[in-house]
Amino acid sequence: MSRSLEATRERLAPILAGLDHKEEESRDGMLTLRAPQDGVRAVLAGLHAKAGYELCTIVTAVDHDEAPTPRPQDTGGARFEVVWQLHSITSNDRVRVKCWLAGEEPGEAGFSAPTVMDLWPGAAYFERECFDMFGIGFDGHEGLKRLMMPDAYEYYPLRKEFPHGGIEPDRLYKAWDKQRRQPSGGTA
């Protein structure tokens, strides 16, 4: 059985003291912390080094464009948020960390989060998936590239403006499949 929310709060209070963050309510009872974009790396590093969170179980994003409920007032108008979920096997507890991103378009200033692959190497794939599906960059991630979609694909399928039916999937897939089946060193 996992630790109670209160026990996790008590354990993390001295570790998080002095770091820019606030606690948020969560429906699932997991401790959820919100940090500013320029301070989230310090919170994550502190949780790794001082609180013993050995695993980063997910890195993902949420697109709040045209959300059915209004965005909270403190978002500064931000549309995207990045979410990290961490697990401590030793303490048997979990924590979720979130931050809003300033930008909205790939390559735009502020449309990135710090990488955590140096803290949790397995997070490299989560970050690549987040980049692939939302276009969100991860500062310091070496080799950040598409994970599932073809490199030349210009769209990000988990963004709200992406049509449910897809965008020219057959043409793009056929071109990619033809290219990957060509023998190396020559043309087909």
pLDDT in tens, 18-67: 999 999 989 999 999 999 999 999 999 999 999 999 999 999 999 998 76
Q: Are 122 and 116 a contacting pair, CB within 8 Å?
A: no
pLDDT of residue 164: 76
pLDDT of residue 1: 42
pLDDT tens digits, one per residue of 98-113:
999 998 999 888 999 9
Check whether 153 has a pLDDT greater than 50.
yes
Q: Which domains does the chain have, with CATH numbers?
A: 5-66+73-150 (3.30.460.80)
Check whether 68 has a pLDDT greater than 70.
no
HSE of 127 in the Cβ direction (CA atoms, 13 Å)? 23
Q: Work out the average pLDDT over 86-97.
A: 96
Tell me the DSSP string of the chain.
-PPPHHHHHHHHHHHHTTSS-EEE--TT--EEEE--TTTHHHHHHHHHHTT---EEEEEEEEE-TT-SSPPPGGGTT--EEEEEEEEETTTTEEEEEEEE-S--STTSTT-EEE--TTTSTTHHHHHHHHHHHH--EEET-TT---SSS-TT----TTSTTS-TT-SSHHHHHHHHHHHHHSPTTS--
pLDDT of residue 174: 78
Cα dihedral value 119, 123, 124, 125, nearest 10: 170
Q: Work out the average pLDDT over 89-96.
A: 95
pTM of the model: 0.85
Q: Work out the average pLDDT over 144-167.
A: 86
Check whether 73 has a pLDDT greater than 80.
no
